[in-house]
Structure 1
Amino acid sequence: MFDPLEHPGIPVDHHGRHWHEFDVEPLDTRATDPFTLRRISVMAAVEANAEHFDRQFANRVQDADARRSVNRLGDATAARRRHIAAVRAPVRGAAEYAINRERAAFDTAGWAARNEREPDRSWAYRQRAWQHLERLRRSAESGDRAHLPWASQVADEVDGLWPPRTTAPPRSWTYSAPVTQPLSLLHDWMVHAGDRRAAGYRPEARGGGWEALVVHESASCYLYYAFMAEEDDPRLRPMWELHLQMQLAHLHAASDLLRRYSDRDSHEVIGEGLPEPVTLRTDRPLVWVHEPDRPKRNRKPPDSGPDVLELLTAQHARTSRLFSRAGSTGDGAHMAFGDLARLIAVHEIAEEQMIHPLVRRLRPDDQLADRLLDEERRISDALSDAVRAAAHGHLDDTVGGLRDMVTAHSRREEHDEFPRLRRSVPVQERREMGRAVRAAEAAAAADAGPRDPARAVAQAADRVRDALADLT
C-alpha cells in the first residue's frame, strides 16, 4: 500500500526548477493511445478544479501566513495545469472537440461508477455516464453525416450501447460533497471536471477546512500515482512521476497546516495509506449494456469508410483486448488466443504488403520500414512458439513475451510510421487501402475452419495474401 506521507516529494519552492526536464511535444490524437489522451484530459480538468479549491480555501483563511502558504499551493497547481495543457492533443475542429469531450466524460463517469463504494453515488455517476453516452451518440451521428470517417467509427462503437431499462436509484440520488474519503472525493472531482456545464463547480470544504485541504491533496496524489502506474507511453510517464513528487510536497504542506492549526495528524484524516490504484483501462464491465437485438438508430453511413491507418490502429486496440482475454483462465482463454493468433497474422501481412512498401517508396533512405519488418519477423517467430506452446497446454509460458513485443511494435508504428503516412498519403488513397484491408480481413474470417490455432493461422495468412494479391 502506497503511503504518500512517507515520501517528502519536491518542495513547493523548488517546483520552478524542474519544468524544463520534461518538455513534451503536443501529442498527435491519431497516433496516441486513447487512454493516454483521456488521462491527460482528466488530469487537466482535475487540476483546474484543484486550483479553484485552493483559491477559495485561501480566501477563507484568516491567518496571513497560512493564507500565503495555501496561495503558494494554488500557484504551483496552476503551473502543473498549464504544463499538462501544453501536451494535450490539438483539436482539429468543433466536431472532433465535441466527440473527444463527451467520450472522455463518458469514460470518466463510468470509471467513477464502477469504483464508487457508496450505492447512491454510484447510481448518480451511472446517470451522468448515460447522459454523456447520449450526447456522444448525437455528436458522432452529426460527424457521420458530415462524412468524417473517424466519426463513423465512433458511431459504430456506441450504436449498440444503451443504459439499462431500469434506472431507479437504490434509495435517493441526492448526494453531498465528500469530506474524508479520498477515493469518493476523487470521483466527485473527475465527474464534475468531465462535464463542461459544471465549469462553475465550487468545491465545498465542510467539517473544519484543514481536514478537507488534506483530503483534496491526498486525492490528487492518488490520481497521479494511479496514472503513473498505468501509463506506458515513455513520453508521459516521467511527467506523471514529476507531478506526483510535486503533489507529495503539497500533501506535506497541508499536513503541517493541519497539525499547526487543528492539532491533528493527517493519518487520522486519510488513514495509513492510499487504496490500490484503479485504472481507466480495465476489463471490468462498464456501466453500459450491449443489446445487439435492440433497434439501432437509423443513420445513413457515408460512402467512404475508415482509412487504412484507422483500421490498423483499431486492430492494435483489438489485439490488446484479446491478449487480456487470452491471459485469463478458463476455456475462453484458448478460444481468445486462437482469435488473437489469426488477427496478428492478418495484421502483419497487411502491413508487410501495403504499409511498409509505401513508407519505403516515400522515403527510400529511411530505415524505419526495415526495422519494423525485422520486428515483425521476430513477432512471427514468437507467435509460432506461442501456438506450439498452446497446443501442449503451456500458453502462459510464452504469451507474456509475445504481448510485450506486439505492444512495443504497435506503439512504434503509431508514433513513427502512421503519422508520416497520414501527412504524405492523400485521404482517398488511404481509404482505398482501407477497403482492401477490410476485404482481406473478411476473406480471412470466411470459413474460419478448425479451432486449432496453427492451422487457423496458416489458413488465414493464405487467404489474406491471395485477397491482397487480387486487390492490389
Structure 2
Amino acid sequence: MNPFEEKPSRKAGEFQSWKSLYPKAYCKDETDAYTKVRIILMTGAEYEAVWFGHQFHRHCTDNDLRRELAVARRQEQQQQHQLAYLKPADETQLETTITYEQLAVDLTAILAQRDPDPYVVKALNFALLEDFDHLYRYADLLEMEQGIQAERLVGGYTEIMPGRPTIAHHRHPVDSVRRACNFKKADLLTMLDTCIITAAEQQTMNYYMNLGAFYPNDLGRRLYQEIGMVEEEHVTQYGALMDPSCTWLENLLLHEYNECYLYWSCFETETDDHVKKIWERYFDMEVGHLHKAAKLLQKYEDKEWQEVLPQGEFPELLRFEPQIDYVRKVLKNTVELTAGGEDYLPVDQIAPDSPFFRYQEAVNKGGPEAVPSHKIIWSYQEKNGEDYRYQTKKHPVPALADRTADNTQLGRMPETAKN
C-alpha cells in the first residue's frame, strides 16, 4: 500500500455532524483486548496530530498556511473525539488504565523487535520493563478494590507480574535525554517507530495527568501521580529520538504518513466489524491530509515528499499479538539497567554522586515505605497473603519470583544482584 498513489474520496474533506461524531461504544466484556488497544493507540496518534498542529500554528507567520492547518486540525480533532468515545460509560478509569498499560507493553515489544536502529531498540527495551511493572501495580489495585482480575481484561495476551521495580524508575531529568536520530539517513521503520511510541506514551502521560486526581481514594491517586511522572520520563526519552532538524512542514508530512500507516494497519488487522469501518473511513481521510501536506511542502519549501520519506510504500504493518516470550527475555537480561546520560548501563556502574542517586534520594525520601507503587503491593499482600499475578510460568528473574515480597532494590541499589 502506497498512500501517495491512493485517491481520497470526496467525503475525506467533510466535517462530521454531531450525530455521526458520537459512536456506538464497544462492550467492555465482549470486545477483544487488542481492539481496545488499537483504539487507545489511534486516540493518541490523533491527539499528537492535533497538538503538533497547534504548535505549528503558533510558530507560523503565514495566515494562509495557518488556515490550511486549521482545517486539517479540526478534522483530526473530530476523529480523536469519536475514537475516545468508543470507550463505554461503564468501563471504570482503572479498567481503561489496564488497556493503556497493555498497549505500552505489547506495542513497545513489537517495535523493539522490528526496528533496525540498535540505539532505538535499547530505548524501547529500557522503557518496556517499566511499563510492564506499571501494569502489574495497577492490576493489583484493580483486583484489591474492584475484585476484577486484569488477566481477563488483557485477554490472556499479556502477562502481569513485576518488571523493573517502579521505585527504580525515578531518574533525574538529564538522564531522559537521548541522542536524536538522523531522519535523512534513517530507515522508514525507525522514523515511524519513534513517532508511534512518542504519541502512545504521550497519550498515557496525559491520561494519568488529567484523570489521576479523579480516582476516588488517596491510594489510587498517589499511584497515578507517581506513574504519571514516570510516563513523562518516557515521553522525554522517545521525543528526544526524533530528528529535531526536520522543518515544520517535513514534520507535518511525517505525521500524516504515520497516521495513514497506522489506520491501514488497524484496518487490516481489526476483528471488530464496527470498529473496522471506522479505521477504513479514517484512513481515507488521512490520505487526503497526506496529499495536502505534500502540496504544502512543495508550495512553501519547494520540496517533494520523496525528499522527506525514503519510500511511499508502507513497510511491514503493525500487528498486535502476544509478546510474552520477548518480554521475558528482556526482563531476564536487562532488569538491572538504569539510564546514565544518553546511555543505559547496570546501576552498579553509576557513580555514587551521579544525578540518578541524588534524584532518588530526593523523591524517595522516607524510603520505599513512602513510595505509592510499592505501598499498593504491600497492602494487597497484607490482605491476601501474596500479590496478584497472571504469569504462564515461573518468573524469569529469581529476585522477582517471591509473591509474598516486593523487591525495591533491582535497578536502584548497586549491591543488589538479580539472582
Whether 1:216 aligns to 2:215 is no
- TM-align CA RMSD: 3.9
Q: How many residues align?
A: 297
How far the C-alpha of 1:284 sits from its partner, in A, is 8.5
Alpha-carbon deviations, 1:390-449, whole Å to 9, x = none?
Answer: xxxxxxxxxxxxxxxxxxxxxxxxxxxxxxxxxxxxxxxxxxxxxxxxxxxxxxxxxxxx
| CA distance in 1: counterparts of 2:142 and 2:107, whole angstroms | 22
CA gap of 1:126–1:67, structure 2 versus 1, over 3 A, is same
1:274 alignment partner, one of 305, 308, 314:
314
CA gap of 1:275–1:75, structure 2 versus 1, over 3 A, is same
The match for 1:437 is none
| CA distance in 1: counterparts of 2:6 and 2:280, whole angstroms | 13
How far the C-alpha of 1:44 sits from its partner, in A, is 0.6
| CA distance in 1: counterparts of 2:136 and 2:328, whole angstroms | 13
The match for 2:298 is 259
Whether 1:96 aligns to 2:136 is no
Structure 1, 101-110 or 222-231: larger mean CA deviation: 101-110
| CA distance in 2: counterparts of 1:65 and 1:5, whole angstroms | 24
Whether 1:174 aligns to 2:165 is no
Query: Which amino acid is the alignment partner of residue 137 of structure 1?
Result: Y
| CA distance in 2: counterparts of 1:230 and 1:301, whole angstroms | 41
| CA distance in 2: counterparts of 1:140 and 1:79, whole angstroms | 32
1:236 alignment partner, one of 275, 289, 292:
275
Contact kept? 1:141, 1:299, Cα under 8 Å: no
How far the C-alpha of 1:9 sits from its partner, in A, is 1.4
SS in 2 for 1:16: coil
SS in 2 for 1:146: helix
CA gap of 1:11–1:52, structure 2 versus 1, over 3 A, is farther
How far the C-alpha of 1:282 sits from its partner, in A, is 5.4
Aligned pairs for 1:63-102 within 5 A = 63-90=62-89, 92-102=91-101
| CA distance in 1: counterparts of 2:65 and 2:301, whole angstroms | 12
Alpha-carbon deviations, 1:278-323, whole Å to 9, x = none?
Answer: 212257843334999xxx99947969xxxxxxxxxx9xxx9xxxxx
How far the C-alpha of 1:225 sits from its partner, in A, is 0.7
How far the C-alpha of 1:91 sits from its partner, in A, is 5.2
Contact kept? 1:27, 1:89, Cα under 8 Å: yes
Whether 1:206 aligns to 2:250 is no
| CA distance in 1: counterparts of 2:324 and 2:141, whole angstroms | 30
SS in 2 for 1:287: helix
2:326 alignment partner, one of 286, 304, 307:
286
The match for 1:119 is 118
Aligned pairs for 1:111-150 within 5 A = 111-146=110-145, 148-150=147-149
Query: Which amino acid is the alignment partner of residue 176 of structure 1?
Result: A
Which structure is richer in relative contact order (CA contacts within 8 A, separation 6 or more)? 2
The match for 2:211 is none
Contact kept? 2:130, 2:164, Cα under 8 Å: no
SS in 2 for 1:288: helix
SS in 2 for 1:286: helix
The match for 2:199 is 189
| CA distance in 2: counterparts of 1:242 and 1:19, whole angstroms | 17
The match for 2:41 is 42
Structure 1, 145-154 or 273-282: larger mean CA deviation: 145-154
More helix by share: 1
Query: Which amino acid is the alignment partner of residue 101 of structure 2?
Result: E
SS in 1 for 2:287: helix
Any stretches of 5+ residues in structure 2 without a counterpart?
166-175, 185-190, 207-227, 333-376, 393-419
How far the C-alpha of 1:34 sits from its partner, in A, is 0.3
| CA distance in 1: counterparts of 2:72 and 2:312, whole angstroms | 23
Aligned pairs for 1:309-388 within 5 A = none
How far the C-alpha of 1:48 sits from its partner, in A, is 0.7
Structure number, greater radius of gyration: 1
Query: Which amino acid is the alignment partner of residue 59 of structure 1?
Result: R
| CA distance in 2: counterparts of 1:284 and 1:140, whole angstroms | 17
| CA distance in 2: counterparts of 1:144 and 1:178, whole angstroms | 45
Contact kept? 2:2, 2:312, Cα under 8 Å: yes
Q: Sequence identity of aligned pairs in percent? A: 20
CA gap of 1:131–1:241, structure 2 versus 1, over 3 A, is same
TM-score (norm 2): 0.61
Contact kept? 1:26, 1:89, Cα under 8 Å: yes
Aligned pairs for 1:391-430 within 5 A = none
How far the C-alpha of 1:194 sits from its partner, in A, is 3.3
SS in 2 for 1:62: coil
How far the C-alpha of 1:175 sits from its partner, in A, is 3.4
| CA distance in 1: counterparts of 2:267 and 2:152, whole angstroms | 29
Contact kept? 2:260, 2:286, Cα under 8 Å: yes
Any stretches of 5+ residues in structure 1 without a counterpart?
165-171, 304-313, 319-472
CA gap of 1:188–1:47, structure 2 versus 1, over 3 A, is same
Query: Which amino acid is the alignment partner of residue 266 of structure 1?
Result: W
The match for 1:374 is none
Query: Which amino acid is the alignment partner of residue 179 of structure 2?
Result: Y
| CA distance in 2: counterparts of 1:58 and 1:177, whole angstroms | 25
Structure 1, 230-239 or 123-132: larger mean CA deviation: 123-132
Structure 1, 220-229 or 262-271: larger mean CA deviation: 262-271
